[in-house]
Amino acid sequence: MSVVRRELLAVAAGALILQGCSDGEPLSPEATRGRQVYLAQCTTCHATDPAEPGPVGPPVQGSSRELLEAKVLRGSYPPGYTPKRSSAVMRPMPELARSLPDLAAFLGVRL
């Protein structure tokens, strides 16, 4: 099975898992878009459930605004932040700047 096909299957499975694990409350339009961004861009390293640790990345549910902005946009940590993991493999993704409010809505981060 090709790597691309495996990744697509993983994203599809993650979407089904997240949909099945909801508490019955529908997501806001922003959180729905954020979930799509998260599944497409983040689940290679983070778990499909953002409250769980992933194979490379830590849980990200409820991360602070400062952490979300610093890691996603600049690939750095906010001043004084102590990382949950010692790996430094996350690359900056400034192309997601316009999606940051949606991603924050999905992760439960106040922007």
Residue where the block lists tokens 């508490």 = 23
Report d(CA 50, CA 35) in Å as an integer: 10
Report d(CA 3, CA 109) in Å as an integer: 32
Each residue's pLDDT tens digit, 6-18? 665 555 555 555 5
Report d(CA 54, CA 51) in Å as an integer: 9
φ/ψ region of 79 (left if φ > 0, alpha if ψ in -120 to 50, else beta) reads beta
Report d(CA 60, CA 63) in Å as an integer: 5
Each residue's pLDDT tens digit, 42-98? 999 999 999 999 999 999 999 998 999 999 999 999 999 999 887 788 999 999 999
SS3 at position 25: coil
pLDDT at residue number 84? 85
